[in-house]
Structure 1
Amino acid sequence: MSSGKHEQFTSRFGLIAATLGMAIGAGNIWRFPRLAGEYGGAFLIPWLLFLFLWSIPLLMVEFSMGKTHRVGVLAAFRASMGDRFTWLGWFVAFCTAAIMFYYSVVSGWALKYALLAITGQVTKLADSDAYWHNFTTGMEPLAYHLTALGMAAVVIYYGVVKGIERFSKIIIPSLYILLILSAIKALSLTGSETGTAYLFSFKPSQLLNYKVWLEGLSQSAWSTGAGWGLILTYAIYAREKETITENVFITGLGNNLASMLAALAIIPTVFALSASVVDATQALGAGNQGLAFIVIPQLFARMPAGAIFAAVFFFALFFAALSSLLAMLEMVVRIFMDFGISRKKSVLLIVALTALAGAPSALSMDVFNNQDWVWGVGLLLSGFIFTLAALKTGVSRLLPQWFPGRTIRPWLRFSIKALFYVLLPVEFAAMLVWWLYQSTTWDTHIWSFSNVYSLAGTFTQWAVIILLGVVFNRMFNRRLSDGGKT
């Protein structure tokens, strides 16, 4: 057993703060407002619906695996599905680790702009577009990548209670306070009511647009951390009396609340400070990084007390990114601990690996965009893998864990089985086909390895990782500690 085996969160608040930190990330603050701005109020319906039809069910499966087996992702899949399928846990873990490599870069970007904001410089940029371009094509992102990674490593080094729990109890309430302050300021601006109306109103005919549904499903899938193996890792340290369903629902709803606060902070601001509705919608369509690092600085420069609220916004973005980076680091560290390596050595190894593997994304936006594409879509496969784990375990065996001490009525049992046997696989197939098709509309050279969004490159990277998992499956089983056999 690894040295951190018996660590536990000391309170429900500590656990919830950590799982909220895991779920709330940069995507809540830049991707959700962009999509809500593109599709308006119609987007909110599928986004909320799929919280219950995709994200929460998968988070419950993950939480069950972590709390039941008390081991990391690889060992949990071994325990749930048998020795032959440890490689499935490897794919899930690698997918999240690959995201961690470039997500540390995102955390560094947020840190850079938070420091610019607190010194009052971000609202004085002569050309925010040119500044962003010069920043991302230079060496600075590498330094900030290493700085953000080092900050996360210090927290993980101190373990679950003294590190993750203590940090989360401070940073997550602070994040919500910053988002609330940003939303209040946005709603107080003259003309903000146009943005608020745009966010919450829609025509019923808009729900006939299949893109609204697929984007809502995808946003929920990516935003909550469902299928990443992260809440599985935190569930290892949950106290025995912690209830799976309540904790997962609080995490899912808390994540959506953070997204709504971010939308209320950004969309009314964009509409209030834009010359026209057309200009506002164009600004919201500037892309994730474009919205956060180009458009937002321009808007704050026009806002009364803009420097103060720029600092509030960018620190919220940094806190969100850093708390998610913590969860990714802990997931990989826990796997190494299951191999019998101490926490301290595991942290040093993973930090060194992440520093090196993240460097190309820090130095090249093409590499960053490629990795974001390949492993972002790969997360959909991870979600489906957790569905397979639930089916292998048996939904009937999971239900008593999710509803302890309660009589499970036939209609509820039937509905949950239909969800796992039918709806989740259909949702996975729809998202995978949709996003792969989308890539063919971005560039005609989809089979060229030089294309950032190349299908050839995507399939090749997936195939290599799957092949490595299958080849080294026996080695994984030999190296796993006794925790993988429970």
Structure 2
Amino acid sequence: MKTTKIQEGKDLEKKSSFSGSLGFVLTAAGSAVGVGNIWRFPYLAAKDGGGLFILLYLVLVLTFGFTLLTTDIAIGRKTGKHVLTVYGSISERWNFLGKLTFIVPVIIMTYYTVIGGWVSRYMAAYMVSGTKTVAQDGYFISFITSKIAPVVFMLVFLAITTLIVYAGVEKGIERFSKYVMPTLLVLIIGVAMFSLTLTYKDSNGVVRTGMQGLKISLLPDLREMTFGKFLRILLDAMSQIFFSLSVSMGIMITYGSYVRKDTNLEKSIWQIGFFDTFVAMIASIMVIPAVFVFLGMEGMSSGPSLMFVSLPKVFEAMGEVGRFIGFAFFLMVTFATLTSCISILETLVGNFIQVLYVSRENLCLIIAVVSAVAATVICAGYNILYFEISLPNGQIGQLLDVMDYVSNSFLLPLISFLTCIFIGWIVKPDLIHDEMQAEGQTFKSKKLYSFIIKFIAPPIMAILFFQSTGIFKF
């Protein structure tokens, strides 16, 4: 009976694979291109002096980002396993790392659909109400503290995510990504180009232009730079790697397990990194000049409230065209959030298929119900379950912020550190080299990869972890 059950599980696993390298690259890039690119990247760039943050981020993507992304995808394809069992299949003593990593998408799934509901609500508002309503002071707070509306939009967003994953890897996730990612790219380039044409004269007669905003977003600002400030910007750029590339959370291991052996992994990984970084850069060019033109330097320092509070005021200041631009922007963000949420749900489904041997369809429905309950609790964190707590990184947070801190600020650096130790010093980088060179492929960045994962990444990850836990303060 047990043998039959295991065989059924293997049969279920065989159904999941990408049709080719294009489908894999677009789907993986879709996972990487999320709220972190269009929301978090621009506000960090604005906060951290524009060009300096971007320059550091580019260096880190080409080194740390490539190394972490290569590790996840290569071990996924090599073992054919998902994150729960992947490390244990290589070394039984390190099976705990898979379980630790799996906690990340479990936690993220509880609140990512809530954020998806927020951006969907804004997209709908621009379609129905226009710019004045959304730009009102208190609009965002009024919405998220409501007991019904956030839950309704979250459930709609979750239902769409579930339907796509329910359809499978090739017919659902890959097909969706092939249509949505080019559309997202066209939208974001179009709005970015429009942002650069903006001109505004404030009440003091000062004229600000989009090109001036572009200059601010790209040129490094080294005034009043100290070592501590530089280190904070470096750590911000490093933490953005996790958000941008979906590394160290099991997602890319899952997608790697679906990749065919004849796919050139090194080429695909560079393509994923390029696509993701390109979108982040264009998002910065799209957001920062527009905010600078209408809100000045004060608007540049608005931080996490940039997308839901500052940008609606920017769209209102644009006049009639602001309604269209606002709708296009939040449509982009909705697409980006959806592709990321799909990858999170697929990670949960793919892992449970391997350990429970339950069909994809049944698992999608079960996980969707559990996620809906958990996300409803997160929504309640802004009304009936509201509280404020001081987090180790110095921030004040509510329930969603606590979940975000545990998954992204605490677990991700820790998991990355342990992964680098495991690959760099326990099983050795040759494990990754062999997989990257499978089917006669080349691995031109082999020396770079080995050097970073053994000597550079571990101490940087340790510092990032200690900084996020409040042990180190800069």
TM-score (ref. length: structure 2): 0.86
Task: Give the deviation of 1:204 after TM superposition.
Answer: 5.3
205, 212, 228: which one aligns with 1:194: 212
Q: Is the 8 A contact 2:292 2:300 kept in 1?
A: no
Q: Stretches of 4+ moved more than 6 A in 1? A: 406-409, 438-441
* Distance in 2 separating the partners of 1:408 and 1:262: 31
Call closer, same or farther: CA 1:406–1:169 in 2, change over 3 Å.
Answer: closer
* Distance in 2 separating the partners of 1:407 and 1:174: 32
* Distance in 1 separating the partners of 2:344 and 2:56: 27
Per-residue Cα deviation, 1:395-449 (whole angstroms, up to 9, x for no partner): 023223324547879xx655433311221111101111222229989xxxxxxxx
Structure 1 equivalent of residue 329 of structure 2: 313
Compare 141-150 and 3-12 and name the one that shifted more.
Answer: 3-12
Amino acid at match of 1:199: S
Partner of 1:399, secondary structure, is: helix
Q: Is the 8 A contact 2:292 2:299 kept in 1?
A: no
Partner of 1:293, secondary structure, is: coil
Compare 171-180 and 380-389 and name the one that shifted more.
Answer: 380-389
* Distance in 2 separating the partners of 1:343 and 1:133: 37
Amino acid at match of 2:32: A
Q: 1:202-281, aligned counterparts within 5 Å?
A: 202-203=220-221, 206=225, 208=227, 209-274=230-295, 280-281=296-297
Number of corresponding residues: 431
Call closer, same or farther: CA 1:406–1:146 in 2, change over 3 Å.
Answer: closer
335, 359, 368: which one aligns with 1:342: 359
* Distance in 1 separating the partners of 2:226 and 2:346: 39
* Distance in 2 separating the partners of 1:361 and 1:131: 19
Structure 2 equivalent of residue 474 of structure 1: none
Amino acid at match of 2:333: L
CA RMSD in angstroms, aligned pairs only: 2.1
Q: 1:367 and 2:420 equivalent?
A: no
Call closer, same or farther: CA 1:406–1:96 in 2, change over 3 Å.
Answer: closer
TM-score (ref. length: structure 1): 0.84
Partner of 1:437, secondary structure, is: coil
* Distance in 2 separating the partners of 1:56 and 1:349: 35
Q: Is the 8 A contact 1:56 1:226 kept in 2?
A: no
111, 116, 126: which one aligns with 1:107: 116
Q: 1:333 and 2:349 equivalent?
A: yes
Stretches of structure 1 that go unaligned for 5 or more consecutive residues are: 275-279, 442-486
Structure 2 equivalent of residue 293 of structure 1: 308
Q: Is the 8 A contact 2:349 2:364 kept in 1?
A: yes
Q: Is the 8 A contact 2:123 2:331 kept in 1?
A: yes
Call closer, same or farther: CA 1:364–1:407 in 2, change over 3 Å.
Answer: closer
* Distance in 1 separating the partners of 2:353 and 2:293: 51
Q: 1:167 and 2:176 equivalent?
A: yes
* Distance in 2 separating the partners of 1:165 and 1:406: 24
Amino acid at match of 1:397: L
Q: Is the 8 A contact 2:44 2:303 kept in 1?
A: no
Per-residue Cα deviation, 1:14-67 (whole angstroms, up to 9, x for no partner): 111100111011011111111111122111111111112222111111111111
Identity %: 26
Partner of 1:242, secondary structure, is: coil
Stretches of structure 2 that go unaligned for 5 or more consecutive residues are: 1-9, 200-208, 383-397
Structure 2 equivalent of residue 387 of structure 1: 420
* Distance in 2 separating the partners of 1:217 and 1:271: 25
Call closer, same or farther: CA 1:398–1:360 in 2, change over 3 Å.
Answer: same
